[in-house]
């Protein structure tokens, strides 16, 4: 456990460092970009000095790193706002979107996988395999557009654009996030269902303790839910951990489509603007989330598997 | 046969394989009576496990079962899974070979026993717990209340097998099938578990079926023995009779293969030459003929039927060991093989 | 993006657990499941690359504004034209060329570099493994999207730059698979035998490791191919991929989005091709996995 934490640190550092290097390598004068075409050379020079843009790479990196350890993520080169403030406004939107997509897809996936594992190769099973194949193959941005066309334009069930905060109107909030969450969540749902179904079916067919349970006379649903399902969760947990990074990345495309004021939305803009502090701030937060999520996954393993929790004690 | 607890007649099990179907069980008949101990002996692939699982309906969906298996008068073959479920555990119970894999690793041991109780009886959780603890005591596990809350990986192999037995006995079944129950255990534990099974059999008055490849085990613990080969019964007799007057060359070969102290040191162990038959492509005639010392042309041409040639002793062989008069103990008979 | 490359590690096992079926049917159904999607891919690739040379199509980029906005099934423009007057059908073909080229290039680079690194890490272990694994971990945890966007943004949109950017995904993902497959293989006895016989490292890898992990890498790469195509579409969609007026399915979708209500076909047609291509790749990968019993 401690070892895992320790191993996470260099990864986190590596991510931030790499991001900084990449952003730094982007050609083009940052000050110029920020000030626009009409800036005078004097203005550009002034901004460059102000933002330490002409200092050597290591100096700039250390300044940034140092500031971060003091809790400050710097200021946006573009807007002058505190990066922390920006993130504070935007992260909750992304977080809500991700949570919505993730929870719904997970719950539906478990439900469908269980249902389908009860009657393998039945009609529902084939149907679910088709649906998962579709979910795996569709691009989220394509799905987003299709959903917008069908559910927002053809019928006005959901808004095509825009975001309402939960404090303003909860129902509208949910509605404004539903189509984006569906675009993100459907591929997730597909992957989860496929994996879980395969794992459950494998447990039911290959494992001896399932035969014991049948020989005891336990009812089929109980075998499925109480024996097969808990032992099938491990693959899913690993997958969720691995998946998180991609999921977060996908918000960069989905949020702009729906004009959601989230972190993904601003990420693309900031990259174009060479707004390094903002990009770094977002990247750091994302990397931390991914690392923490994977740690949580490990913990969950221990909780679910008594062999890990109690170790081997032959009495 | 009247009075039989389990009456199996012409049981056949075929698996739809990739290509030709595999006949795992090819017309098996036997009976088990209350309080009797019947041993079913054979190599891997002889069909001994498959036939028992077929009776309980525990085979995968690719298996097609025909024939008759009556338990206390009720026909089991052809019942739906739900109907069979009511018998499983309650009337017939099974103990499996590998207790490590046969227990759910993420569920407490006591819970797995209690589950067996609650599968057939409407008892409350505390009552089921009490019964489970009693069962742990019944199988001679010390400190049963503590063991109840432990996980399978925290117990030794022998203890796990006792837990499996406790699970099997949860609803006091009338027939207990022990499918290679001691094969995965070390010799000392084997003996302990077998003793336990016999004691429990006497205590609870149940019938016991021992499935094994170990003839010595059958000799020591069974009343009657069935020998299976290539999905068929090839010899059937009370234990004492089988070992003193063996008839089937296959059974004799099995007996000879048992290591014995009297043999000279470093003498090679007699093995049965050849390999077990391919069940999807059985030759005409006796399935053992390719490996049999006494095989003759009529053996390869026609399959010998299982017939009760002597009272209580049936065999399926054209040229049984010892000829019509029968032979004495196998030690004398083999001569050249050892 | 939909199912990113690292996730495919896990989904690699999904197709395996198929309950035993009636085998009499399995024979030709299995063939169908492989050859129908594979056939579609082959036909599509041939069409994209060969059709314009064999049978003239209107230029994908020099359309006449006077022909703008024609609906599908108009004479001379079977899929209609886009708002600038370009023929949609020919843009689909040329966009398909881009997708196949990018997918192929990134996949091959991923196999060569990622596969090589992964095999080295798995085979030699020790320090090499530690370093390579850390690097791969960072690359996987890294929001590679950022890198892709940055590269595309910084270097300017172009097909080659898109390929570089997407290699950031495929190299670590392939590396991971190659590494774990090699590790599994290393435990087997024949590997020990090869090493004991004195065969030197690289030869062992070439002679024994590569042939045995090829099936896994291949099925994984097919799935990855689909993901790459989607990602290329995403980059082009954002304007950071293939620059306009060049054709790319992604940018066609972006363009079409602006008139989604009026002319949904401008979005639906490239989307359909994108979808069909990726589905076929996934189906082929699944079918191969089942056939090779991976």
Nearest residue to B292 (alpha-carbon basis) of B283, C42, C219:
B283
The predicted-structure confidence for A272-293, as pLDDT tens digits, reads as follows 777 777 887 887 788 788 778 8
Instruction: Determine how β-strand B224-229 pairs with β-strand B175-179.
Output: unpaired
Lowest mean pLDDT segment, chosen from C37-51, C70-84, C263-277: C70-84
Instruction: Determine how β-strand B175-179 pairs with β-strand B92-95.
Output: parallel
pTM of the model: 0.82
* DSSP SS3 for B216: helix
Which residues in chain C (71-90) have CB-CB distances under 8 A to chain A?
A: none
A7 pLDDT more than 90:
no
Neighbours of chain C (3+ CB pairs under 8 A): A, B
* Cβ atoms of C228 and C166 closer than 8 Å: yes
* Cβ atoms of B244 and B253 closer than 8 Å: no
> What's the rounded Cα separation, in Å, for the pair C101 and C103?
5
For residue C142, give the nearest of A15, A135, A195 by CB distance: A15
Higher pLDDT, C164 or B164: B164
**pLDDT-derived band of residue A26, with 50, 70 and 90 as boundaries?**
low
> What's the rounded Cα separation, in Å, for the pair B215 and C236?
73
Instruction: Identify the closest residue of chain A to B104 by CA–CA distance.
Output: A209
Instruction: Determine how β-strand B232-238 pairs with β-strand B313-315.
Output: antiparallel
**pLDDT-derived band of residue C11, with 50, 70 and 90 as boundaries?**
very low
C205: which 2 tokens?
């890898």
Distance from CA of C289 to the nearest CA of B (A): 18
pLDDT averaged over every residue in chain A: 83
Distance from CA of C20 to the nearest CA of B (A): 7
Higher pLDDT, C128 or A204: A204
Instruction: Identify the closest residue of chain B to C23 by CA–CA distance.
Output: B18
* DSSP SS3 for B63: strand
B18:C23 CB<8 A: yes
CA distances from C186 to C130, C164, C174, C198 (A): 17, 32, 18, 16
First to last CA, chain A: 26
Which residues in chain C (114-133) have CB-CB distances under 8 A to chain B?
A: none
> What's the rounded Cα separation, in Å, for the pair C85 and C67?
5
Say whether residue B17 is in contact with chain C using an 8 A CB cutoff: yes
Distance from CA of A279 to the nearest CA of C (A): 8
Interval A208-228 mean pLDDT: 93
CA distances from B51 to B67, B181, B335, C40 (A): 11, 16, 35, 48
Listed ranges B51-65, B284-298, C138-152; the one with the highest mean pLDDT: B51-65
Interval A228-247 mean pLDDT: 84
B106:A217 CB<8 A: no
Listed ranges A44-48, A233-237, B176-180; the one with the highest mean pLDDT: B176-180
**pLDDT-derived band of residue C24, with 50, 70 and 90 as boundaries?**
very low
The predicted-structure confidence for B37-77, as pLDDT tens digits, reads as follows 999 998 887 889 999 999 999 998 888 999 999 999 899 99
- Over the range C22-59, which residues count as b (16 or more CB within 10 Å of their CB) and which as e? eeeeeeeeeeebbeebbebbeebbebbeeebeeeebbe
**pLDDT-derived band of residue B331, with 50, 70 and 90 as boundaries?**
very low
A153:C14 CB<8 A: no
Nearest residue to A117 (alpha-carbon basis) of A223, A207, A218:
A223
* DSSP SS3 for B39: strand
pLDDT value for C144:
64
| Total residue length of chain A | 315
C1 pLDDT more than 60:
no
What architecture is the C30-58+82-291 domain classified under in CATH?
A: Orthogonal Bundle (1.10)
C3 pLDDT more than 70:
no
Distance from CA of C190 to the nearest CA of A (A): 27
Instruction: Identify the closest residue of chain C to B18 by CA–CA distance.
Output: C23
Instruction: Identify the closest residue of chain C to A11 by CA–CA distance.
Output: C138
B107 pLDDT more than 60:
yes
B61:C22 CB<8 A: no
The predicted-structure confidence for C241-258, as pLDDT tens digits, reads as follows 888 788 899 989 988 888
Interval B102-108 mean pLDDT: 93
C155 pLDDT more than 90:
no
pLDDT value for A291:
77
Q: Which of A142, A145, A267, A277 to mutate to test the interface with C (most CBs of C within 10 A)?
A: A142
Say whether residue C17 is in contact with chain A using an 8 A CB cutoff: yes
pLDDT value for A16:
74
B18 neighbourhood in chain C, CB within 8 Å: 23, 26
Distance from CA of B174 to the nearest CA of A (A): 14
Instruction: Identify the closest residue of chain C to A27 by CA–CA distance.
Output: C154
**pLDDT-derived band of residue C27, with 50, 70 and 90 as boundaries?**
low
C81: which 2 tokens?
């034209």
pLDDT value for C4:
45
A272:C16 CB<8 A: no
Nearest residue to B98 (alpha-carbon basis) of B202, B3, B181, B208:
B181
Instruction: Identify the closest residue of chain C to A243 by CA–CA distance.
Output: C7
Which residues make Cβ contacts (< 8 Å) with residue A220, sequence separation at least 6?
A: A118, B81, B85
CA distances from B280 to A97, A118, B297, B301 (A): 58, 31, 23, 18
**pLDDT-derived band of residue C15, with 50, 70 and 90 as boundaries?**
very low
Higher pLDDT, C81 or C26: C81
- Helix/strand/coil (H, E, C) string of chain A? CHHHHHHHHHHHHHHHHHHHHHHHHCCCCHHHHHHCCCCCHHHHHHHHHHCCCCCCHHHHHHHHHHHHHCCCCCECCCCCCEHHHHHHHHHHHHHHHHHHHHHHHHHHHHHHHHHHHHCCCCHHHHHHHHHHHHHHHCCHHHHHHHHHHHHHHHCCCCCCCCCCCCCCCHHHHHHHHHHHHHHHHHHHHHHHHHHHHHHHHHHHHHCHHHHHHHHHCCCHHHHHHHHHHHHHHHHHHHHHHHHHHHHHHHHHHHHHHHCCCCHHHHHHHHHHCCCHHHHHHHHHHHHHHHHHHHHHHHHHHHHHCHHHHHCCCCC
C62: which 2 tokens?
């020099």
pLDDT value for B272:
76
The predicted-structure confidence for B176-191, as pLDDT tens digits, reads as follows 999 998 888 888 888 8
Distance from CA of C18 to the nearest CA of B (A): 13
Lowest mean pLDDT segment, chosen from A20-29, A199-208, A236-245, C201-210: A20-29
Quick one: what percent of chain B has pLDDT higher than 90? Answer: 46
Give domain limits for chain C: 30-58+82-291
pLDDT value for A138:
92
Interval C212-218 mean pLDDT: 88
B17:C23 CB<8 A: yes
Q: Find out whether the peptide bond into C245 is cis, omega within 30 degrees of 0.
A: yes
Say whether residue B172 is in contact with chain A using an 8 A CB cutoff: no
pLDDT value for A235:
82
Distance from CA of C294 to the nearest CA of B (A): 18
Which residues make Cβ contacts (< 8 Å) with residue A2, sequence separation at least 6?
A: none
C186 pLDDT more than 70:
yes
pLDDT averaged over every residue in chain B: 85
B102 neighbourhood in chain A, CB within 8 Å: 208-209, 211-212
Handedness of CA C217, C219, C220, C225 (dihedral sign): positive
A227:B102 CB<8 A: no
Other CB atoms within 10 A of residue A29 CB: 14
Distance from CA of B132 to the nearest CA of C (A): 35
pLDDT value for B171:
92
- Between chain B and chain C, how many beta carbons pairs sit less than 8 Å apart? 12
Higher pLDDT, A56 or C218: C218
**pLDDT-derived band of residue B161, with 50, 70 and 90 as boundaries?**
very high
C12 pLDDT more than 60:
no
B124 pLDDT more than 90:
yes
Say whether residue C23 is in contact with chain B using an 8 A CB cutoff: yes
B32: which 2 tokens?
């088990």
C176 neighbourhood in chain A, CB within 8 Å: none
pLDDT value for A288:
80
B16 neighbourhood in chain C, CB within 8 Å: 20, 22-24
Quick one: what percent of chain B has pLDDT higher than 70? Answer: 94
Higher pLDDT, C187 or B220: B220
Q: What is the ipTM of this complex?
A: 0.85
B60:C23 CB<8 A: no
Nearest residue to B165 (alpha-carbon basis) of B143, B145, B192:
B192
**pLDDT-derived band of residue A186, with 50, 70 and 90 as boundaries?**
very high
Q: Which of C18, C21, C22, C23 to mutate to test the interface with B (most CBs of B within 10 A)?
A: C23
For residue A215, give the nearest of B94, B120, B155 by CB distance: B94
Quick one: what percent of chain C has pLDDT higher than 70? Answer: 86
pLDDT value for C5:
42
Say whether residue B64 is in contact with chain C using an 8 A CB cutoff: no
C1:A26 CB<8 A: no
**pLDDT-derived band of residue A29, with 50, 70 and 90 as boundaries?**
low
pLDDT value for C100:
95
pLDDT value for B299:
80
Say whether residue B21 is in contact with chain C using an 8 A CB cutoff: no
Neighbours of chain B (3+ CB pairs under 8 A): A, C
A79: which 2 tokens?
């807007």
Quick one: what percent of chain A has pLDDT higher than 70? Answer: 89
Q: Which of B62, B64, B280 to mutate to test the interface with C (most CBs of C within 10 A)?
A: B62
Residue B68 exposed, middle or buried by CB count within 10 Å (0-12, 13-18, 19+): middle
Distance from CA of C23 to the nearest CA of B (A): 5
A222 neighbourhood in chain B, CB within 8 Å: 115
A217:B102 CB<8 A: no
Lowest mean pLDDT segment, chosen from A250-264, B10-24, B121-135: B10-24
- Between chain A and chain B, how many beta carbons pairs sit less than 8 Å apart? 95
Distance from CA of C239 to the nearest CA of A (A): 11
Distance from CA of B17 to the nearest CA of C (A): 7
Neighbours of chain A (3+ CB pairs under 8 A): B, C
Say whether residue C25 is in contact with chain B using an 8 A CB cutoff: no
Q: Which of A125, A214, A216, A226 to mutate to test the interface with B (most CBs of B within 10 A)?
A: A216
Structural Rg of chain C based on CA atoms: 22
**pLDDT-derived band of residue A142, with 50, 70 and 90 as boundaries?**
very high
pLDDT value for B126:
94
B265 pLDDT more than 90:
no
B222 pLDDT more than 50:
yes
C21 pLDDT more than 50:
no
């Amino acid at each position: 456990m401690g070892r895992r934490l320790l191993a996470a640190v260099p990864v986190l550092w590596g991510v931030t460092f790499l991001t900084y290097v990449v952003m730094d390598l982007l050609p083009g004068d940052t000050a110029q970009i920020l000030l626009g075409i009409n800036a005078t050379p004097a203005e550009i020079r002034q901004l460059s000095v102000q933002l330490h843009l002409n200092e050597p790479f290591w100096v700039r990196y250390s300044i940034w790193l140092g500031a971060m350890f003091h809790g400050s993520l710097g200021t946006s080169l573009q807007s002058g706002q505190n990066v922390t403030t920006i993130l504070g406004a935007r992260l909750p939107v992304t977080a809500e979107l991700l949570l919505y997509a993730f929870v719904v897809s997970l719950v539906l996936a478990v439900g469908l996988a269980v249902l389908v594992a009860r009657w393998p190769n039945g009609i529902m099973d084939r149907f679910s395999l088709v649906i998962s194949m579709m979910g795996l193959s569709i691009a989220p941005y394509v799905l987003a557009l299709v959903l917008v066309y069908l559910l927002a334009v053809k019928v006005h069930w959901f808004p095509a654009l825009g975001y309402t905060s939960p404090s303003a109107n909860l129902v509208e909030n949910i509605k404004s996030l539903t189509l984006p969450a569906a675009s993100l969540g459907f591929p997730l749902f597909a992957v989860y269902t496929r994996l879980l179904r395969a794992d459950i079916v494998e447990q039911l067919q290959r494992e001896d303790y399932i035969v014991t349970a049948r020989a005891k006379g336990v009812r089929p649903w109980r075998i499925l839910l109480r024996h097969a399902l808990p032992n099938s969760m491990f693959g899913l947990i690993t997958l969720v951990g691995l998946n998180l990074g991609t999921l977060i990345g996908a918000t960069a495309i989905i949020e702009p489509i729906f004009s959601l004021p989230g972190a993904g939305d601003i990420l693309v803009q900031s990259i174009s603007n060479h707004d390094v502090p903002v990009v770094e701030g977002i990247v750091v937060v994302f990397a931390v989330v991914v690392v923490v999520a994977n740690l949580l996954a490990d913990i969950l393993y221990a909780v679910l598997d008594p062999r890990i929790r109690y170790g081997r004690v032959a009495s | 046969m009247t009075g039989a607890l389990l009456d199996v007649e012409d049981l056949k099990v075929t698996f739809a394989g990739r290509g030709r179907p595999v006949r795992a069980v090819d017309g098996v008949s036997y009976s088990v009576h209350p309080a009797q101990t019947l041993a079913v002996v054979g190599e891997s692939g002889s069909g001994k496990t498959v036939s028992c699982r077929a009776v309980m309906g525990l085979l995968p969906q690719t298996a097609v079962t025909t024939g008759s298996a009556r338990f206390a008068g009720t026909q089991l073959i052809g019942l739906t899974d739900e109907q069979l479920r009511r018998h499983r555990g309650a009337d017939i119970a099974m103990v499996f070979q590998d207790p490590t894999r046969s227990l759910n690793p993420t569920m407490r041991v006591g819970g797995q026993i209690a589950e067996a109780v609650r599968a057939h009886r409407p008892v409350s959780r505390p009552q089921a717990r009490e019964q489970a603890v009693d069962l742990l005591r019944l199988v001679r596990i010390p400190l049963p209340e503590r063991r109840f809350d432990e996980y399978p990986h925290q117990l030794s192999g022998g203890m796990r097998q006792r837990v499996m037995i406790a699970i099997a006995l949860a609803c006091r079944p009338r027939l207990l099938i022990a499918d290679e129950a001691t094969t995965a255990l070390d010799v000392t534990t084997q003996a302990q578990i077998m003793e336990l099974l016999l004691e429990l059999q006497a205590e609870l008055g149940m019938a016991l079926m021992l499935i094994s490849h170990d003839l010595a085990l059958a000799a020591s613990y069974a009343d009657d023995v069935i020998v299976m080969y290539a999905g068929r019964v090839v010899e059937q007799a009370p234990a004492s009779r089988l070992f003193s007057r063996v008839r089937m060359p296959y059974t004799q070969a099995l007996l000879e293969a048992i290591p014995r102290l009297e043999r000279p040191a470093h003498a090679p162990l007699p093995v049965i030459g050849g390999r077990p038959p391919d069940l999807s492509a059985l030759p005409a005639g006796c399935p053992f003929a390719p490996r049999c010392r006494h095989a003759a042309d009529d053996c390869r041409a026609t399959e010998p039927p299982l017939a009760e040639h002597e009272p209580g002793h049936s065999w399926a062989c054209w040229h049984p060991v010892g000829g019509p008069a029968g032979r004495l103990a196998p030690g004398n008979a083999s001569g050249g093989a050892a | 993006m939909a199912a990113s490359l690292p996730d495919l590690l896990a989904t690699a096992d999904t197709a395996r657990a198929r309950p035993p079926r009636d085998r009499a049917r399995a024979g030709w159904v299995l063939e169908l499941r492989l050859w129908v999607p594979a056939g579609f891919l082959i036909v599509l690739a041939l069409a994209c690359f060969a059709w314009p040379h064999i049978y003239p199509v209107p230029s994908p980029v020099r359309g006449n504004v006077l022909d703008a906005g024609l609906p599908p099934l108009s004479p001379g423009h079977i899929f209609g034209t886009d708002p600038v007057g370009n023929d949609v059908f020919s843009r689909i073909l040329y966009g398909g060329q881009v997708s196949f080229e990018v997918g192929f290039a990134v996949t091959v680079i991923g196999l060569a570099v990622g596969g090589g690194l992964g095999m080295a890490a798995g085979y030699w272990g020790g320090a090499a493994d530690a370093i390579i694994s850390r690097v791969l971990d960072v690359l996987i945890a890294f929001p590679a999207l950022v890198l892709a966007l940055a590269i595309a943004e910084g270097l300017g949109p172009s097909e080659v730059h898109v390929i570089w950017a997407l290699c950031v995904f495929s190299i670590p993902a392939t590396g991971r698979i190659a590494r774990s497959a090699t590790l599994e293989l290393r435990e087997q006895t024949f590997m020990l035998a090869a090493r004991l016989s004195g065969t030197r490292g690289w030869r062992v890898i070439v002679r024994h490791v590569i042939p045995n992990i090829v099936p896994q890498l291949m099925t994984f790469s097919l799935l990855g191919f689909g993901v790459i195509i989607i990602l290329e579409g995403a980059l082009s969609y954002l304007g950071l991929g293939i620059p306009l007026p060049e054709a790319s399915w992604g940018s066609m979708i972006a363009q079409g989005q602006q008139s989604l209500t009026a002319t949904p076909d401008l979005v639906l047609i490239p989307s359909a091709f994108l979808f069909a291509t990726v589905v076929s790749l996934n189906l082929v990968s699944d079918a191969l996995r089942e056939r090779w019993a991976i």
